[in-house]
Amino acid sequence: EQAFIHAARYFEKNIAADEKAKTKNARRLAGFFGVLTFMSIAAVMGLTPLKTVQLGLVRVDNNSGYTDVVWADDKGKPPEQIDDEFWLSTYVRFRESYNFSSHDAEFGMVELMSYGETFTEYRNFQLSSKGYLEVLGTNRQIRTDINNINFL
């Protein structure tokens, strides 16, 4: 019985005290990292208003090599017009471009974006002897660039 009491005192004095110290250190460390996390979040939230996106384009003159920055002017265009310009340019690029490796995908996109009657004309042209596949074959391509869209 005396041995059990001695073992219990030894356990309380050494092992339990060590575990309490480890728990205390773990809580301090968790608290420190918790405070550090909240400080990091607060720093990011504090700097968020300073981040702005300005659309610009670096334009290079083909002849002289002169470069200048052209800033986007988004004033005055309603979102619907911007969407219409995007989809119209996408449709024209798919319809008028040709690359043998992406011809099936372009054909499918034109079918998806066209009315039935319009697509029938396009399909008949592509399947004729004047179609891009017959005329240009597998080695040549057409790249369509759209510089501007004006609605009349």
Q: How does pLDDT run across 51-81, given as a tens digit for each residue?
A: 777 778 888 988 898 999 888 776 777 888 8
Spatial separation of the C-alpha atoms in residues 125 and 17, rounded to whole Å: 88
pLDDT at residue 74 in the model: 62
Residue 150 carries which side chain, given as an amino acid letter? N
Half-sphere exposure of 16 (CA within 13 A, CB side): 7
Query: Residues 28-56: what's their mean pLDDT?
Result: 89
**Cβ contacts of residue 113 below 8 Å, gap of 6+?**
87, 90, 91, 94
Query: Residues 24-44: what's their mean pLDDT?
Result: 96
Place of tokens 């041995």: 3
Residue 133 carries which side chain, given as an amino acid letter? L
Residue 152 carries which side chain, given as an amino acid letter? L
Q: How does pLDDT run across 75-121, given as a tens digit for each residue?
A: 777 888 889 999 999 999 999 999 988 889 999 999 999 999 999 99
Half-sphere exposure of 146 (CA within 13 A, CB side): 16
Residue 49 carries which side chain, given as an amino acid letter? P
CB-CB contact of 34 with 53 (8 Å): no
pLDDT at residue 49 in the model: 75
Q: Does the reported pTM lie above 0.75? A: no
Report residue 132 as tokens.
């891009």
